Structure 1
Amino acid sequence: MSKFGIGGAHPGGITLTKKIFEPEKINSTTHILDVGCGTGQTAAFLSSQYGAKVTGLDVNPIMIEKAKERMTKHRLPVKIIQASIEQCPLQESSFDFILSESVLLFVDKPKALREVFRLLKIGGKLIANELTLRKQLPTANQEEIKQFYGINTLLTEKDWAELFLQSGFKNLMIRNETNSINQVQSLPEIQFSDTIEPELYGVFYQHLMIMAKYQQTFDYGIFSCTK
């Protein structure tokens, strides 16, 4: 994704992101951390739309470069930091909101959530848009998905809810969208790298095939909870 520079690769894309933040009280004093910010599409929106103090965090150097280019181009005062949410260099109790858009699935979830909890202010909110399973899959199918995406666990909505609560969060709310995970709400933004290895097109095709194969099993939920 870093080489293709896909912005809003999470379910619902930037259209859903905007919808999620509509009811939230955000202004120029609000501190927001965008975990796994990618090319910075969401971080840029939150900064330009609300004037919020936004920090983008990503572990991938190509994503970091593209996010910084975006902020420079649009003259946005968004801080972009290369680091992992599993071990974040930022100060505790710093953020009013922390956003994860299809990021927690790909990291050590308990470890990452401990960091998220540490970084949130008292009463601060985590908003996570994450893939869920409608039902448990046979082991062979789970292994196919986990090996391709490099993830260690696949969770149902109930599993996610239990994980957030076990991590110390409260006031958990779950929002489900009517659109399926494969339904595109808006065309994705793409920022191609100058060089893209030919094999990456094959990897992308494999991704599309897996999403199609498990379209009746994959779902997603928007989880919000507070510290």
Structure 2
Amino acid sequence: MEKVVPIRDSIYLDFLSKFGVGGAHPGGFELTKEILQGERIHAGTRILDAGCGTGQTAAYLASTYEARVIGVDINPIMVEKAKQRMEKNNLPVKIIQGSIEKLPLKGGMFDLILSESVLSFVNKPRALQEIYRLLKPGGRFIANELTVNKKPEEWVENEIKTFYGFDSLPVERDWISLLERIGFKNIKIHSQTTPILQHQATPEFHYSAHIDPKLYAVMNQHFQMIAKYHEILDYRIFSCSK
């Protein structure tokens, strides 16, 4: 396997991996299923779950649609938990460890690529260029990603970026401009009427055997951050094609 591109430090991502949180993205797993209903997915559709975490979405795609799914995540703990899920449920989903910024996969493989709260943690241009490379001509890309409603003051921006490990806080127009620059077409934005503060259904947990005690406070810190900056932090569902 090619060398994994390191992800920036994030105590929030450490918490997600050790607690094995599934459906941590805005809208949770229920929103994921709702979005997928609008896509033409059938047996044999080739799908990449970019940043698959514990494999909740990847498993659903394989079991519900009989799609041919590959899940990728850079975190080895998440990868192991995703593999355990597939083995337990006897699902033919391939899980690989790697960065969405550079994957050991040939171009033009996928009909559909999903990212759910992934791009904010990586180099966005590199990741989107790789996603574009991996899609078939006419292939679809769907992203559920963090968006800020307005540019915050510098100290607020630094607080948010430090806690989550983000490199930037894009507004909606930033996302659109980046997608257009990479070459994506038919870009659509699906704004959600549910505020980010109310987005979360009860997530899954797949706990690691050993958890640093300080991580138990991170979930509360996350919700405090969302409540504190609910007028700034938001999310969008972007869909587009190659």
TM-score (norm 1): 0.98
In the TM superposition, what is the alpha-carbon distance from 1:187 to its structure 2 partner?
A: 1.4
Q: What residue number does 1:91 align with?
A: 106
Q: 1:222 and 2:237 equivalent?
A: yes
Equivalent residues in 2 for 1:43-192, closer than 5 Å: 43-184=58-199, 186-192=201-207
Deviation per CA, 1:108-140, whole angstroms, max 9, x where unpaired?
000101100000000001100001111110111
CA RMSD in angstroms comes to: 0.9
Gaps of 5+ in 2: 1-15
Deviations 1:14-56 (A, max 9, x none): 1000000112111112100000000000000111110000000
Counterpart in the other structure of 1:30 = 45
Residue in structure 1 matched with residue 4 of structure 2 by the alignment: none
Per-residue deviation, 1:184: 4.0
Give a deviation string over 1:81-131, Cα, whole Å, max 9, x none. 000001111110000000000000110000101100000000001100001
CA distance in 1, matches of 2:234, 2:162: 19
Q: Which SS does the other structure have where 2:238 is aligned?
A: strand
Matches of 2:183 and 2:199, distance apart in 1:
34
What SS class does the counterpart of residue 10 from structure 1 fall into?
A: coil
Deviation at 1:216, TM superposition (A): 1.6
User: What SS is found at the alignment partner of 1:203?
Assistant: helix
- Aligned residues of 2:49 and 2:72 also touching (Cα < 8 A): yes
| Structure 1 segments of 4+ aligned residues over 3 angstroms from their partners | none
- For residues 10 and 34 of structure 1, the distance between their equivalents in structure 2, rounded to whole angstroms, comes to 13
CA distance in structure 1 between the aligned counterparts of 2:123 and 2:132, rounded to whole angstroms:
14
Identity across the alignment (%): 57
Find the counterpart in structure 2 of residue 4 from structure 1.
19
For 2:35 and 2:176, the matched residues in 1 are separated by 18
Unaligned runs of 5+ in 1: none
Structure 1 pair 21–77 and aligned structure 2 pair: CA distance change class (3 A): same
Asked if 1 retains the 8 angstrom alpha-carbon contact of 2:50 and 2:113, the reply is yes
Kept in 2: contact 1:54–1:78 (CA 8 A): yes
How far off is 1:212 after superposition?
A: 1.3
Which letter does structure 2 place at the counterpart of 1:38?
G
What is the distance in 2 between the residues matched to 1:81 and 1:182? 32
Deviations 1:53-92 (A, max 9, x none): 0000000000001000000111110000000001111110
Instruction: Please tell me the residue identity of whatever aligns with 1:165.
Output: E
